A and B are shown apart, each in its own frame.
Chain A
Amino acid sequence: MAAKTKKTESNGRRAVIVGGVRTPFIRAFGALMKMDSIALGTAAVKGLLERFPVPWNEIDSLVWGGTMLPGGIAVNAGREIVFDVGLPMSVESYTVTRACTTSILSTTLAVSAIERGDADVVIAGGSDSTSNVDVRLPATLVHKAAPTVMSAKSTPSDYLRLLGKLNVKKDLVPKRPSIRERTTGELMGESAEKMAERNEISREAQDAFAYQSHTRAAAAIASGRFAKEMIPVTTPDGVTIHTDNIVRGDTTIEKLAKLKPAFAQNGTLTAGNSSSFTDGGAALLLMEEQKARALGFEPLAAFRAWSYDAVDPWDQLLVGPAISMPRAAMKAGMTGDDIELWDIHEAFAAQVLSVVKMLGNDTFCRERLGLEKAFKKLAPEEINAHGGSVALGHPFAATGARLITTMANELKDTGKATALIGVCAGGALSSGLVMERV
């Protein structure tokens, strides 16, 4: 509990990741259905603290992220997780949201706090339960009914009059929740379909990438590589879930090629080469480097630089990482050739391949980034060593923390020096993050 009285000037402090875990990623309305975002977050944080036993009174803060939070008005999910885990009441907490980059944001906020001297030990992460999206009553019903229902003076005849005013189709049928962009009205997949067309990403290339994602993820599960970052979760029904259920190690290019387009009649995006609605949570333990060593932890990696950006949603909604990744590297004083590990969030195979194509496009990098030539010409095989969201699933606010954990472990395991993470997000947002081995 050193946080509140720290001096705030820059003093050579460096934040490191000591460890990270995630719950199994389970397809929406599956085994984790009865756990909302807070329950999933609680499970992830509990698992983290079991795996990396830091004295609880050393924890200063919990920075959480969520995009589909339960319970209505401005729920501070992070604080609820503090209570549900049973952490000391003094653990300060807040909750952020930035679509699919949410837990990149919660992590860099925690890193900033540590490096600024505001905290020594912070838990960061995020969780989302697509199974528990609020199904709302139509606003028209609420607006029509409120004057009668809220008034103490309403008589039965007022209620009858109200019933007469209701329109079955408009007022009584709940709206199906969907991830349509509020501004463009497009489904995420429709935007990605447009990107596939705009960047000439073929169905074959998308399926080949999806195949790579599934086989690599399946291998990482089979080899035990993911065991070090996955914790089992026991559901309210008493069932314990040990592993992901979306990955299909037995898929083939032929099987993927048979799937029907999901977003457009003659489209190229299918359920096989897109990420699915997923339930899950992920948590990271972040500390000031000296503090980590003093507590007996061996740091995995540090955070060199990051960049948050935004592009035009009507143009290419999910192309942002092609801006953010080079910018983060530039802030770190690096070029594309300095990066050894690449991990790009796979919302859709078409979107990843579009980003990879732009990272390797001279004109794009000159016009949009002011670089002399392409940032890095990459083959799709060179990224995402252990697969990605297409195979694993994508609980929106947990994905960033999953990528950070996997890269932190990968830096440690391979002895390589630098990793670059890129994540696209709704609202045409993006982030890039450079991690380095400690």
Chain B
Amino acid sequence: MSDVLLKIGKNNVARQMVKNLGLPVSLPQALKRAEGSWEERPLADLRVDAGHGPGSALAPVLARCLCAAGAYTHVAGTPEQFAFYTEHGHAWGRIAKEAKEDQAPEGCAPNALVFDATGMQSPADLVSMYRFFHARVRSLAACGRILVIGTTPSEIADVPASAAAQALEGFVRSVGKEIGKKGATANLVWVSPGAEDRLPPVVRFFLSRRPVFVSGQNLTLTTRVPAPENPSDVRPLDGKLALVTGAARGIGKETAKTLALEGAKVICMDRPGEEEPTALLAKEIQGTALSCDVTAPDAGEVIARHVKEHGGSLAVIIHNAGVTRDKMLVNMDEARWSSALQINLLSVLSLTDQLLPLMPKDGRIVCLSSIAGIAGNVGQTNYAASKAGIIGFVRALAPKAAEKGICVNAVAPGFIETQMTAAIPFTTREAGRRLSSLAQGGLPQDVAQVVCFLATPQASGVTGATLRICGQSLIGA
């Protein structure tokens, strides 16, 4: 069933009426989503206010990244830091303007606020971040972005500095809740020492109109996996072979389409019985169809044979196939328990084991976890166990896979508008939708965009992580 409030919210007159009548309804902001494949300049002509805290070191990286991505920058920082923006602003035709930390620049609303908090020596330095955002958060445009960049707390030996870096998380999560009604998101990136070069693709992606349903999250960038040389800003998956399990419908289908849009040749796999939608999808995206049950004893061999027929190198695996077998624990028979665990977790383990040797050195594995795996859910002991298991799986496999240059990550979708959620009773569904900062459900494409990003060579800084795509759901937060 469609989201009525969101529809009303798109109508300006209705929006004004609801406001003037003082109705106790808050209308969610319709999210602006990018269409098509990655752009050379994802931030073309957007205004980005960049702030640099005391001692921060990322000005050269951010200046190049933002200007090359097409953004107009207003910069609060030292003259030396501003000089990097001047240099790159001139070269990319996006001349930077200087701004005061505690004063919003004149003119139009910024589309994104980026703050470099990497140099914080003590929590006292955080006041610089407060001033930057305090002055600007009111004018942030609808569907705007906040991105805070800090140093990974666990990598900082100095106690006050580590505390300051950790403080960023609380700040970002809270500001995300405050700006959610604008359709805006806030996220945090922790950069480990030496991983600065992994930051630009993450900034380009997180400020774009693709991760629209990711808010209040943090990502840690490390050097565990080597960075690719000269990855392409557009069509990053060109020529790569990708496997999507459970591709016939929903998030799997959307993911397969998104990967194909970025150039991947997608093996669309689904279980016997889904041959028709799988074949139609494969035809639509010029991929191949594979009818195979992930739990079949010979599934690994079947996939390996298929991969060998199509070049032999499997660059991307998306473990998407999953089922719910809901019952209260007291009523759940062992078959239900085993079935959910088998399909959602055990098959992921065994297939990964068998397919890893086929992966090239910049391979990427992305698993679908779920918010249920983080928060738990009534009647889903089996499902939640399997999805929590995925989180542990990617964390444990990441260091081993890193030796081969492969990243392993998971995403945990929250309330996504699919056939599955449409079947939930109205009140429960409405609660699921509204109990998040963005006060609406996400779309399958919102998940697909993030999965696709994690599948690109550019995502080399992220591994072992589980990223929530939940509009900053209050559940499990």
**When the two chains form their complex, are residues B90 and A361 in contact, meaning their CB atoms are under 8 A apart?**
yes
**When the two chains form their complex, are residues A198 and B68 in contact, meaning their CB atoms are under 8 A apart?**
no
Q: From A198, A199, A358, name the one whose CB has the most chain B CB atoms within 10 angstroms.
A: A198
Interface class of chain B by DSSP: loop
Which residues of the partner chain B approach A312 to less than 8 Å between Cβ atoms? 40-41
A314's nearest neighbour on chain B, judged by CB, is: B44
Q: Smallest distance from the beta carbon of B291 to chain A beta carbons, Å?
A: 42
**When the two chains form their complex, are residues B91 and A200 in contact, meaning their CB atoms are under 8 A apart?**
no
Which residues of the partner chain B approach A367 to less than 8 Å between Cβ atoms? 64, 68, 91-92
Q: In the complex, A279→B92 CA distance in Å? A: 35
Q: Which 9 A-B pairs have the closest CB atoms?
A: A363-B91, A198-B93, A364-B91, A316-B93, A363-B87, A361-B91, A200-B95, A199-B93, A312-B40
- Over the window 225-268 of chain A, the binary record of Cβ atoms lying under 8 Å from chain B Cβ atoms (1 yes, 0 no) is 00000000000000000000000000000000000000000000
Report B22-63 residues with CB < 8 Å from chain A CB.
40-41, 44-45
Report A323-361 residues with CB < 8 Å from chain B CB.
354, 357-358, 361
Which residues of the partner chain B approach A314 to less than 8 Å between Cβ atoms? 41, 44-45
Which residues of the partner chain A approach B210 to less than 8 Å between Cβ atoms? none
B182 contacts partner chain A, Cβ-Cβ < 8 Å: no
**When the two chains form their complex, are residues A319 and B93 in contact, meaning their CB atoms are under 8 A apart?**
yes
Which residues of the partner chain A approach B94 to less than 8 Å between Cβ atoms? 198
Q: In the complex, A198→B96 CA distance in Å? A: 10
On chain A, which size bracket covers the interface? 10 to 19
Q: Smallest distance from the beta carbon of A155 to chain B beta carbons, Å?
A: 46
B88 contacts partner chain A, Cβ-Cβ < 8 Å: yes
B77 contacts partner chain A, Cβ-Cβ < 8 Å: no
Report B79-132 residues with CB < 8 Å from chain A CB.
87-88, 90-95
Which residues of the partner chain B approach A364 to less than 8 Å between Cβ atoms? 90-92
Pick the residue among B44, B68, B88, B90 that contacts A199 (CB under 8 A). Answer: B90
**When the two chains form their complex, are residues B93 and A195 in contact, meaning their CB atoms are under 8 A apart?**
yes
B252 contacts partner chain A, Cβ-Cβ < 8 Å: no
A315 contacts partner chain B, Cβ-Cβ < 8 Å: yes
Q: Smallest distance from the beta carbon of A181 to chain B beta carbons, Å?
A: 15
Which residues of the partner chain B approach A200 to less than 8 Å between Cβ atoms? 90, 95
B70 contacts partner chain A, Cβ-Cβ < 8 Å: yes
A198's nearest neighbour on chain B, judged by CB, is: B93
Q: In the complex, A244→B379 CA distance in Å? A: 86
Q: Smallest distance from the beta carbon of A326 to chain B beta carbons, Å?
A: 14
| 12 more CB-based (< 8 A) A-B contacts, given A361-B90, A363-B88 | A198-B93, A198-B94, A199-B95, A312-B40, A315-B41, A315-B70, A315-B93, A316-B93, A354-B93, A357-B90, A358-B91, A363-B87
Which residues of the partner chain B approach A199 to less than 8 Å between Cβ atoms? 90, 93, 95
Which residues of the partner chain B approach A195 to less than 8 Å between Cβ atoms? 93
Q: In the complex, A368→B41 CA distance in Å? A: 14
A368's nearest neighbour on chain B, judged by CB, is: B91
Q: In the complex, A363→B88 CA distance in Å? A: 7
Q: In the complex, A319→B41 CA distance in Å? A: 16
Which residues of the partner chain A approach B68 to less than 8 Å between Cβ atoms? 367
Which residues of the partner chain A approach B92 to less than 8 Å between Cβ atoms? 364, 367
Q: Smallest distance from the beta carbon of A180 to chain B beta carbons, Å?
A: 19
Q: Smallest distance from the beta carbon of B24 to chain A beta carbons, Å?
A: 43
Q: Smallest distance from the beta carbon of B44 to chain A beta carbons, Å?
A: 6
Q: In the complex, A199→B92 CA distance in Å? A: 9
B88's nearest neighbour on chain A, judged by CB, is: A363
| A interface with B by C-beta (< 8 Å) | 195, 198-200, 312, 314-316, 319, 354, 357-358, 361-364, 367-368
Would you mind naming 5 contact pairs between A and B with Cβ atoms under 8 Å apart? A198-B93, A199-B90, A312-B40, A363-B87, A368-B91
Which residues of the partner chain A approach B90 to less than 8 Å between Cβ atoms? 199-200, 357, 361, 363-364
B87's nearest neighbour on chain A, judged by CB, is: A363
A365's nearest neighbour on chain B, judged by CB, is: B91
Q: In the complex, A269→B413 CA distance in Å? A: 51
Which residues of the partner chain A approach B40 to less than 8 Å between Cβ atoms? 312, 315
Q: Smallest distance from the beta carbon of B231 to chain A beta carbons, Å?
A: 15
Which residues of the partner chain A approach B91 to less than 8 Å between Cβ atoms? 358, 361-364, 367-368
Which residues of the partner chain B approach A368 to less than 8 Å between Cβ atoms? 91
Q: In the complex, A364→B87 CA distance in Å? A: 9
**When the two chains form their complex, are residues A198 and B44 in contact, meaning their CB atoms are under 8 A apart?**
no
Q: In the complex, A315→B40 CA distance in Å? A: 10
Q: Smallest distance from the beta carbon of A206 to chain B beta carbons, Å?
A: 16
Q: Smallest distance from the beta carbon of A66 to chain B beta carbons, Å?
A: 31
Q: In the complex, A23→B88 CA distance in Å? A: 44
Q: In the complex, A297→B93 CA distance in Å? A: 47
Q: In the complex, A368→B92 CA distance in Å? A: 9
Which residues of the partner chain B approach A316 to less than 8 Å between Cβ atoms? 93
Q: In the complex, A57→B91 CA distance in Å? A: 52
Q: Smallest distance from the beta carbon of B65 to chain A beta carbons, Å?
A: 12
Pick the residue among A198, A315, A319 that contacts B95 (CB under 8 A). Answer: A198
Which residues of the partner chain A approach B88 to less than 8 Å between Cβ atoms? 363
Q: Smallest distance from the beta carbon of B175 to chain A beta carbons, Å?
A: 31
Which residues of the partner chain B approach A315 to less than 8 Å between Cβ atoms? 40-41, 44, 70, 93
A199's nearest neighbour on chain B, judged by CB, is: B93
B94's nearest neighbour on chain A, judged by CB, is: A198
Report B229-281 residues with CB < 8 Å from chain A CB.
none
Q: Smallest distance from the beta carbon of A403 to chain B beta carbons, Å?
A: 25
Q: From B44, B64, B91, name the one whose CB has the most chain A CB atoms within 10 angstroms.
A: B91
A367's nearest neighbour on chain B, judged by CB, is: B91
Q: Smallest distance from the beta carbon of B69 to chain A beta carbons, Å?
A: 11
Q: Smallest distance from the beta carbon of B111 to chain A beta carbons, Å?
A: 16
Which residues of the partner chain A approach B93 to less than 8 Å between Cβ atoms? 195, 198-199, 315-316, 319, 354
Which residues of the partner chain B approach A358 to less than 8 Å between Cβ atoms? 91
Which residues of the partner chain A approach B87 to less than 8 Å between Cβ atoms? 363
Q: Smallest distance from the beta carbon of A357 to chain B beta carbons, Å?
A: 8
Q: In the complex, A195→B94 CA distance in Å? A: 10
Which residues of the partner chain B approach A354 to less than 8 Å between Cβ atoms? 93
Q: In the complex, A367→B95 CA distance in Å? A: 16
Q: In the complex, A319→B94 CA distance in Å? A: 13
Which residues of the partner chain A approach B45 to less than 8 Å between Cβ atoms? 314
Q: Smallest distance from the beta carbon of A360 to chain B beta carbons, Å?
A: 10
A197's nearest neighbour on chain B, judged by CB, is: B95
